[in-house]
């Protein structure tokens, strides 16, 4: 298992965004126990993100802004893809579902793009 990297940091930040994006669903649905658990898990992931940041070397920290832009683009793309999906399927039950599903799709896109980029660089 490798050490801290900018890619892992952005994946962790994306996970945190996805976790926070589920909170409106739990609030709206009256799932207080799930809400409490998600808030506790989000706090743990936040601590891990901060520790991970502190362990990054200077070169990795310089790559973070570009990777954060990529993460943001992927999150927006995930929201757009899920909005199109729900528009075609006519099954959207609320903006809360779109938010949580869209950010999840975006995080998957981000992680897959990081993996694909790493695979391509190893082939060179």
Report mean pLDDT in 10-residue bins for the chain, 124 residues.
85 98 93 95 98 95 97 98 92 89 98 87 70
Q: What does pTM read for this prediction?
A: 0.89
Q: What is the pLDDT of residue 90?
A: 81
Q: What is the pLDDT of residue 1?
A: 52
Rounded to whole angstroms, the maximal C-alpha distance in the chain is 52
Sequence-ordered list of residues with C-beta below 8 angstroms from that of 52, at least 6 positions apart, any chain:
4, 8, 9, 12
Asked if residue 77 lies in contact with residue 109, where contact means CB atoms within 8 angstroms, the answer is yes
Burial letters 8-22, b for 16+ CB under 10 A, else e: bbbbbbbbbbbbbbb
């Amino acid at each position: 298992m490798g050490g801290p990297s900018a890619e892992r940091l952005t994946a962790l930040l994306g996970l945190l965004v996805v976790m926070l994006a589920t909170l409106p669903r739990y609030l709206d649905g009256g799932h207080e126990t799930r809400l409490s658990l998600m808030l506790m898990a989000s706090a743990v992931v936040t601590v891990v993100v901060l520790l991970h940041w502190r362990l990054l070397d200077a070169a990795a920290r310089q790559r973070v802004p570009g990777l954060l832009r990529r993460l943001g683009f992927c999150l927006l793309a995930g929201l757009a893809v899920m909005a199109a999906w729900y528009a075609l399927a006519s099954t959207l039950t609320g903006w809360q579902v779109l938010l949580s599903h869209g950010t999840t799709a975006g995080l998957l896109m981000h992680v897959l793009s990081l993996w694909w980029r790493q695979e391509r660089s190893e082939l060179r």
